[in-house]
Amino acid sequence: MPKKSTKSKSKRTTLKQKYKVIRKVKEHHKKKRKEENRLKRLGIKKKGPKDPGVPNAWPHKDELMREIDHEHEKIETKKEELMEAKRARRTENKRIAKEMMESGAPAPTLEELRAIADRKETNYEEKKKAKLAEELEREDEDQDSSRRAYYKEFVKVVELSDVIIQVLDARDPLSCRSPEVERFVRRMNPDKRMILLLNKIDLVPKENVLAWLTYFREELPTVAFKCATSGGSGKLGARNANFKSSGNALGGADSLGAESVLEMLKNYARNKNIKTAITVGIVGFPNVGKSSLINSLKRSRTAAAVGNTPGMTKVLKEIKLDKHVKLIDSPGVVFASALGESAGAAALRNCIKVERIDDPIAPVHEITRRCPAQQLMLMYKTGRFGDVDDFLRQVARLQGKLKKGGIPDLKAAARVVLTDWNNGRIPYFTSPPKREENKEHAGAEIVGNWSAEFDADKVFAAEQSTVIAGLPENEDEDDFMPVQSLGNGLIEAHDLSEDEADMDEDEADDMENDAPVQVIRARDDSEAGRTQRALEHARAKTAAKASSARQKVLYGNEGQYNPSDARAAKKRARRQAKAVADAAEDDSGSDFDWEGE
């Protein structure tokens, strides 16, 4: 008699085993999807299961086979009808041509044939544009919802953080710095501290880094940084050595400035007597290096997802650096189009994917306007060019970007130049603006207090030998291109806060008073000045149209609350009340004879 099993028949298991099975299944599905995507990219189709046919023992095989044969006959009949219609069209065309020849009518000339071909091409292009416009409209709706989701993630990061690090691109820091973000952080909690981090210092000359550090340290604590770029291994290196006698330190792939950042954070935690770990939020524009900064501080390539395209980080991610410091990565937020910035300027900030730009020639026009023409000629091996179209025609011929008939593809060439700009192949830098002399900065006292909390003076002194001494000297003028800055980065006003829909006018006035002072320059009546004013006017009109369309998409439903309309109605009511009050005051002191009328 077989021995009975002594094991329990129960299917109960431990939670450890349960979650292990779930994890294994999830990993298997992920691996399977990855393999399917790889085969799809390579164009490899997996062989499907072979049809075994209908078994002979199937009770209704004859009926099933008749149905299958009937379906095949229907398909073949449809094909025959299409072929017959095609043959009929050809026969009719031949008959018409024969009648025209017999009647002595002149054959269509080359110009007439060309006009017919152009008309057909125009119809085809119109259909193609209509289809593309419909697809772009759907993409814009999805993109707008994702932007609002990104902004919610940004708000969460600010709420959870003790210190905010705003990452700036050292090549054009002003274009990456958003005063609206800084004001939002101050409004949310005045006790939150902010540090400016000048990233990608290896792409600009040494004296330019020093100038920007001096400029920003008059406002906020600022550190210089270079992210690690090690390839192959899973760990990234960091360098903290004295470079006074070691030459150029930026030839290696290790990060620079990590020790300064960590020292400032730990000094702040110690001075504020923070017993638990300090939480640090990393914010900034897309593709300025937020995730690369976290990977360099963590010395890991997989702590945060990185890439050379904007939008790699979708949601906030918390990374524990050690028991004293926690980092929070955030998606890049920049919605500048509603405040008058063109898509071209946003593309130069690498905030938009190059493939999604409808008109890539506009940002290249900005590049040719800002960069010295001789250095662009040397870089792309072109001749002298008069305007951006001439430059792109030469680049298209040299890069092989040609259409049918050897016509240069200007848009493809523009995307090549724009990709080079975003990837750093065009070595440009900007200079900080000059402040007014004999005028103390408004935040000097605040800067002093914040520097004391971070022990910034001690950290900056050590930075001179550990980071600044390793920067390259600008010995050759052709190595870097001095260009004009794009200006301060902006954020859409209607996305600043969910609570600002009910914000009263006094708070709005306070926000305007907190705005940085702008230098008013004399009107430039030269040709360049008039061109610049025309461009700004066109950008403002385009931005107004885009904002109106976005408002219809977001708040177009009947009965839906529109915060922009509510604020506008409140302003109109206040203006009307003020006008009535002014009119009442004017009636008492008027010299007009009302009775005489």
Residue 31 pLDDT: 96
Q: 23 falls in which pLDDT band (50, 70, 90)?
A: very high
Residue 17 predicted with pLDDT over 90: yes
Which residues, listed in sequence order, are joined to residue 439 by a DSSP beta bridge? Answer: none
**Count of alpha carbons within 13 angstroms of residue 387, beta-carbon side:** 4
Q: Do the beta carbons of residue 299 and residue 486 sit within 8 Å?
A: no
The dotted CATH code for 135-337+435-517 is 3.40.50.300
Strands (E), 274-329: 278-284, 317-320, 325-329
Report which DSSP code applies to 177: -
Q: 20 falls in which pLDDT band (50, 70, 90)?
A: very high
- Max mean pLDDT range (62-66, 156-160, 242-246): 62-66
In whole angstroms, what is the distance from residue 220 CA to residue 446 CA?
Answer: 8
* Mean pLDDT in residue range 10-27: 94
Residues 6+ apart with CB under 8 A from 436: none
Residue 518 predicted with pLDDT over 60: no
Residue 5 predicted with pLDDT over 80: no
DSSP per-residue codes, 544-577:
HHHHHHHHHHHH-STT---HHHHHHHHHHHHHHH
Enumerate the H helices of 235-308 as residue ranges. Answer: 258-271, 290-298
Q: 88 falls in which pLDDT band (50, 70, 90)?
A: very high
Q: 542 falls in which pLDDT band (50, 70, 90)?
A: low
Tokens 């604020």 found at: 567
Residue 530 predicted with pLDDT over 60: no
Residue 525 predicted with pLDDT over 80: no
Residue 29 pLDDT: 97
Residue 566 predicted with pLDDT over 70: yes
Percent of the chain past pLDDT 90, that is, above it, reads 9
Taken in order 246, 249, 254, 258, the sign of the CA dihedral is positive
Residue 304 pLDDT: 57
Encode pLDDT of 244-273 as tens digits: 433 444 445 677 778 888 888 888 888 777
**Could you tell me whether strands 325-329 and 278-284 are parallel, antiparallel, or unpaired per DSSP bridges?**
parallel
Residue 476 pLDDT: 54
CB neighbours of residue 508 within 10 Å: 15
Q: 15 falls in which pLDDT band (50, 70, 90)?
A: very high
Residue 337 pLDDT: 41
Q: 34 falls in which pLDDT band (50, 70, 90)?
A: very high
Q: 511 falls in which pLDDT band (50, 70, 90)?
A: very low
- The tokens of 455 are what? 């022990």
**CATH topology for 338-423?**
Conserved Hypothetical Protein Ylqf; Chain: A; domain 2 (1.10.1580)
**Could you tell me whether strands 255-256 and 317-320 are parallel, antiparallel, or unpaired per DSSP bridges?**
unpaired
* DSSP3 helix / strand / coil % (the chain, rounded to 5): 55, 5, 35
Between 347 and 375, residue with greater pLDDT? 375
Residue 589 pLDDT: 44
Between 323 and 396, residue with greater pLDDT? 396
Q: 495 falls in which pLDDT band (50, 70, 90)?
A: very low
Residue 158 pLDDT: 84
> Could you tell me the CA-to-CA distances from 493 to 138, 187, 238, 511 in Å, in that order?
23, 15, 39, 11
- The tokens of 113 are what? 């044939």
Of 45-54, 193-202, 236-245, 310-319, give the lowest mean pLDDT range.
236-245
In whole angstroms, what is the distance from residue 192 CA to residue 242 CA?
Answer: 33
* Mean pLDDT in residue range 69-86: 93
Residue 460 predicted with pLDDT over 90: no
Encode pLDDT of 101-144 as tens digits: 788 777 778 888 888 888 888 888 888 878 777 766 665 555 55
Residue 367 predicted with pLDDT over 70: yes
Q: What is the 3-state secondary structure (H, E, C) of 386-443?
A: CCHHHHHHHHHHHHCCECHHHCECHHHHHHHHHHHHHHCCCCEECCCCCCCCCCCCCC
Residue 446 predicted with pLDDT over 70: no
Q: Do the beta carbons of residue 461 and residue 251 sit within 8 Å?
A: no
Residue 540 predicted with pLDDT over 90: no
Q: 26 falls in which pLDDT band (50, 70, 90)?
A: very high
- The tokens of 175 are what? 């274009």
Residues 6+ apart with CB under 8 A from 539: 340, 341, 342
**Domains of the chain: which residue ranges?**
135-337+435-517, 338-423
Residue 488 predicted with pLDDT over 50: yes
- Max mean pLDDT range (183-197, 229-243, 502-516, 532-546): 183-197
* Mean pLDDT in residue range 45-65: 84
In whole angstroms, what is the distance from residue 289 CA to residue 168 CA?
Answer: 8
Residues in the chain, overall count:
597
- Max mean pLDDT range (4-13, 262-271, 382-391, 500-509): 382-391
Tokens 């008309």 found at: 119
pLDDT mean across residues, the chain = 74
Global model pTM greater than 0.95: no
Residue 513 pLDDT: 41
* Mean pLDDT in residue range 58-74: 89
Residue 503 predicted with pLDDT over 50: no
- Max mean pLDDT range (292-296, 298-302, 391-395): 391-395
Residue 528 predicted with pLDDT over 60: no
- Residue 254's identity, in one-letter code, is D
Residue 136 pLDDT: 63
Between 564 and 86, residue with greater pLDDT? 86
- Max mean pLDDT range (32-41, 232-241, 275-284): 32-41
- The tokens of 325 are what? 């410091």
Residue 296 pLDDT: 83
Of residues 413, 410, 385, 411, the one with CA closest to residue 399: 413
Residue 74 predicted with pLDDT over 80: yes
Residue 259 pLDDT: 83
Encode pLDDT of 319-352 as tens digits: 887 787 888 877 766 544 434 455 566 677 777 7
Q: Do the beta carbons of residue 414 and residue 360 sit within 8 Å?
A: yes
Enumerate the H helices of 104-218 as residue ranges. Answer: 110-160, 173-176, 179-188, 206-216
Residue 73 pLDDT: 93
- The tokens of 591 are what? 């010299």
